[in-house]
Every structure is written in structure tokens, then in C-alpha cells.
Amino acid sequence: MVRVKPFAAIRPPRGLVTEVAAPPYDVLNSEEAKRMAGEKSLLHITKPEIDFDPIAGEHEQRTYDRAVENFRIWKEKGWLVRDDRERYYVYAQTMEGRTQYGIVLCAHTDDYAEGKIKKHELTRKEKEDDRMVHVRIQNANIEPVFFAFKDDALLSEIVEKTVSGEPEYDFTDENNFGHRFWVIDDAYTRAITDEFTGKIDSFYVADGHHRTAAAARVGAEKKARNPSHTGNEEYNWFMAVCFPQSQLKIIDYNRVVKDLNGFTEEGFLKALEEDFEVLPGSGAPTALHNFRMYLGGKWYSLTARPGRYDDNDPIGVLDVTILSNLVLDRLLGIKDLRTDKRIDFVGGIRGLGELERRVDSGEMKVAFALYPVSMQQLMAIADSGAIMPPKTTWFEPKLRSGLAIHSLD
């Protein structure tokens, strides 16, 4: 079973939350972050390169030094204040009428090493290293990771009772997504700990693979340097927001490609017919194995022909795999989605209009819209130990940063 514990969150006073809270570090580029950041914004801590004019490099020593200094200043000025005792919290997000309720807690780094925190995609060492630097220099998890777990009746009951009261924070962000945050009553602390450690056998990484891996590596690093290590130190833990899997919805993650690998538009359409039924068709894909393609100012429906995929293969049945094998690789010559510069990825939250824009502008030649993966597929793949192809899942809304920070001491 997984290990969890409450923690004393470092967080903004109620009246400052909208000024401090910010999008995650990887949602905005430096220029966007500089335009958005107000005086108290957490972006000065998560993207401190914006404090320089011109904007500094993300990996410069002065940038890291500024991050540490800003974190210190934010605490000194009372813009971030540490709770007086360890607590659990509830964080609710509302998007387009759908609300998901997550428990904010600390997970154990050893659970990641032992495979109890399950991943569904590979990480890149350079990105892990970058996240490790930030955890190490701040001695804190500034931003949470996003986990799913199998539904549990008692935990749902505790959350339901908690959210019947007034939230600590309640605001709407620039995307019109709602964010609410409650401190869970101390009377439920033991029950939450016992339920997770007695009933929940796994966490599933939904968003934050690199931050999870980095937190585990920092924990192992600190353990190795501490001859008096007991396993109870705060560095063994890292911050996560954990949602029941039934409340989560995965959004499509689409593809755009720069060229047709030597094909004419007519030749490419003809080549597709070997593996797909190709028809005129607009709108989002309607089911698994149905795709939409935007080419030459027109939308097409592509439906994979029977026998072109294996429904008994948890990876082979995924639409991202079908598209990669039959189109991106076989026809367009894109062998490695992680490194090929001819392909880019567009989160479904941006809509089909963004795919049209990228193609109509001449930046890209063709776009593909995919049917989203289900949570059941994600969990089955993670349980099997298999890895999804790159850029398969997109979760929305993103966790807001700055509602809670976990100190490693």
C-alpha cells in the first residue's frame, strides 16, 4: 500500500491568494510569464528569469540565486506563511461545469522507487535534472504533482464533509477555471492516513512525471548524504494532489507535421486509403480508431481499417500508436516523436481551430486530431508496467501553483 502523511503547507494568506497563485512553470514561456506576473506572483519564484531585463537564461546561476532569494522574501513579507501544524487539504478545480476534488498530501519517495507510484510515460534525464535543481536549491517542493487513485468511499465521504464548509480559497483564473481550497479538520487526519496506507495500493502519475522523478532522486540524494538517516526525515516526502480516477477526464493530445515527406496532397490521401477509410468529415473524432485530419484547407475523417491494430495489446490499440505506426512512421518518416523537429503537439484544450491556424499559416502542412485516451486505459497500461507513446495524455485544468508548498525540512 502507498505511504502518505499530512504536512504544514507554506501558503498565501486568504486575501493574497489571487496575487500569489500562478500557472505551472511549464505552461508559460518566459515572455508570457513576465507579462502575467504581478508583484507577488509565484512566477517570480518558479520562473525567476523574468526578473531580469533582458530576460535571463533559465539555467543561469543568477536565475537560480534569484529563485532562492525571492522565496525567502515572499516568506519574510508574509506573502507565503507556513501553517502551524501538519494538515491534509482539499483542492477542487472546476472546468466547464465539471469539478474534481483532490486531497493534498505528501507521498513517499520510496513508493516511486518501488513502483507503487506508477508512471505511464518515459522521462528525459535533462528535464529531471532541471527539476532536481529547483527542489535542491529551495529545499522544497514549490509545485505539486498530479496523481490519480482508485475511488475510495471513506476518502470521498471525508472530502464531501470538508467541502460542505467555507473554503479557505475560492477564485476563478484567467481561463475561467474555478479553484477552491479547504483545510481538512484535524479530526480526519488519522482516518485519511489509515485509509490510504490500508486500502490504496497505487498512485498513478497523471501529470508531473519529471517532478515526481526529480523529487524521488532528491530524496535518495539526501538519504545517501545523511549517515543518521532514519526514514522519517521530511526529505523522504514530496507534495501531491491526489484525485479519484472517476473524476478525471483526459483531453486529446493532437499532432501537427511540417511536411508530407515528399507526397503531394493527392498522393498522401491515396496512400492513406491502404490503412484507413478516408472521407470528408469535420468536428472532433467520434470514437476510438477514428481520426480527423486537416490538409489543404479541408477536414477529413480517417477510420482505421479492421486488422490494422490489435485490441488485445494495451499499447497497440491506442490511437496514438495507430497514427504513429501507420501514418507518422510509415508515410511521413517520423521515427522518434521525442526528437524529430518536423512534428509538434497541441493540447486539445486549444480546440480544432488551433490545428487549422497552424496549417493555414504555412507553419505546418497537416494536422491530426485524436480521440482521447481513457483513464481506464492509462491505469491498465501503468499496471502492466508498459509505457505509452510520447504526448499521449493531456489533463486539464492544470494544478495552480502557490496554493501549497512543501518544505523538505
- In the numeric block, which cell numbers belong to residue 380? 491498465
Burial 221-258 (b: 16+ CB within 10 A, else e): ebbeeeeeeeeeebbbbbbbbbbbbebbebbbbbbbbb
pLDDT the model gives residue 314: 83
Q: Assign 167 a pLDDT band (cuts: 50, 70, 90).
A: very high
CA distance 296 to 360: 8
pTM, rounded to two decimals: 0.88
Nearest by Cα to 5 from 129, 137, 107 = 107
Question: Domain map of the chain by residue range?
Answer: 4-249+397-407, 253-371
- In the numeric block, which cell numbers belong to residue 100? 474534481
Q: Assign 136 a pLDDT band (cuts: 50, 70, 90).
A: very high
Checking 37-43 for CB contacts under 8 A at 24+ apart, the result is: 40/12, 40/16, 40/74, 40/79, 42/74, 42/142, 42/401, 42/402
**What is the per-residue pLDDT across 56-93, written as a single tens digit (0 to 9) for each?**
999 999 999 999 999 999 999 999 999 999 999 999 99
Class of domain 253-371: alpha beta
Strands (E), 6-50: 10-11
**What is the per-residue pLDDT across 257-281, written as a single tens digit (0 to 9) for each?**
999 999 999 999 999 999 999 999 9
CA distance 91 to 163: 9
- In the numeric block, which cell numbers belong to residue 93? 478545480
pLDDT the model gives residue 391: 81
Cell numbers 493531456 label which residue?
Answer: 394
Instruction: Look up residue 374 and give its DSSP letter.
Output: P
In degrees, rounded to 5, the angle at the alpha carbon of residue 151 between the alpha carbons of residues 184 and 149 is 80
Crossing angle of helices 61-76 and 125-138, rounded to 10°? 40
pLDDT the model gives residue 131: 87
CA distance 198 to 315: 31
Task: Report whether 25 contacts 8 (CB < 8 A).
Answer: no
Nearest by Cα to 163 from 195, 185, 143, 178 = 185
Cell numbers 490510504 label which residue?
Answer: 196
In degrees, rounded to 5, the angle at the alpha carbon of residue 320 between the alpha carbons of residues 319 and 325 is 95
Phi, psi of 246 (to 5 degrees): -70, -20
**What is the per-residue pLDDT across 339-353, written as a single tens digit (0 to 9) for each?**
899 999 998 888 899
Task: Report whether 120 contacts 393 (CB < 8 A).
Answer: yes
Q: Assign 179 a pLDDT band (cuts: 50, 70, 90).
A: very high
